[in-house]
A and B are shown apart, each in its own frame.
Chain A
C-alpha cells in the first residue's frame, strides 16, 4: 500500500476525487450513490473516499447498513485553522503592545486610565 499524505491539496490533485468532493459538498452520499453517477467502479470510489478521508476533507458516519460521507466537518476545520492563525497573530502583536513601556498608541484622546504606579 502507498502511504498518503495528510494533505487536502494533494488529495484533490486527482480530477475524480475533485468531482467526488464536489458531489459530497452538494449532498452527503453513500459510496453506491456516488458510483452510480460516476464513470468509475464502486471499489475505486471507495478508494478515493479513503484518501479524501485520510486528508481530513470528508468524514463518514454509519446510517443503518450504509456509510454516509460528507464534507461539512472540513468547513469547521478550515475555520478553526484560520481562527487559530488569527488569535496567534493577535496575541503576538498584543505582547509587543503590552510590553511597551508607558502608555500605548490609542491613548491620545482619552486620558481616563491612570496607572496607580504613575508618579509625577
Chain B
C-alpha cells in the first residue's frame, strides 16, 4: 500500500578497456587516486587512501598531518571478482559510529573480453541511514538540521524569483 516509496539502493556501472584482473586491482589498490577529492571527511588534505585487502580490514584516509579516518570496513575481498565494503558515512558526510546506521557497497567485476571489463556498483540498504536522518529531523526543534536545508532552499529561491519580500 505504500505508494511511491523511494528505492533504498543506488546502482552505477561502467565498462572499461582493461582486463578483469587489472580492473579489480586498480579499483581496490588505487581507490584514493580517483575518489572525488571534495568528499574528504578529514580536516586536512588526504595524503593517501589505504585499502586493507582482506575481510575485516578497513578503508582508511590518511591526512597530510597524520590524522586518520576509517570510513569503511572491508566485508569481502575476492580477487578479481568482487569487493564489498560498508559505508560508515552519515548523510552529512561524517563518519558514522553506530554500525546499525551504515549501508553496504558491492563492487563486481565481469570480463567482457580479454581487454574489456564491466564494473557494477550496488550501494544498498540506504534506508539504514534513515534512523540518523530521523534524528536530524528531530533536531529541528533545537534549531539544527532541517532549518539548514530550508535556508539552502530559500537561498536558491531568492536568487531566482522570490523577490516579493525583503
A residues near B, CB below 8 A? 8-9, 12-13, 15, 18, 21-22, 25-26, 59, 61-62, 71-73, 75-80, 82-84, 86-99, 104-107, 113, 115-116
Contact = CB atoms under 8 A, between A and B. Distances in A.
Contacts of B138: 26
Contacts of A115: 21-22
Q: A interface, by DSSP: helix, strand, loop or mixed?
A: helix
B32 interface: yes
A61 B48 CA distance: 47
B130 A106 contact: no
Given A80-B7, A87-B121, A71 B137 contact: yes
Contact of B16 (A72, A89, A98): A98
Interface residues of B, number: 56
Contacts of A86: 36, 39
Interface string B126-166: 11011001101110110000110010011011001110010
Q: Which of A77, A86, A96, A98 has the most CB of B within 10 A?
A: A98
Contacts of B160: 9, 13
A71 B55 CA distance: 37
Contacts of B72: none
In the A-B complex, the 4 residue pairs with the smallest Cβ-Cβ separation, listed nearest first, are A93-B34, A87-B12, A75-B133, A91-B14
B54 interface: no
Given A18-B150, A80-B126, A104-B30, 13 more contacts: A26-B138, A26-B141, A75-B133, A76-B129, A80-B6, A83-B123, A92-B14, A93-B33, A98-B16, A98-B26, A106-B48, A115-B21, A116-B21
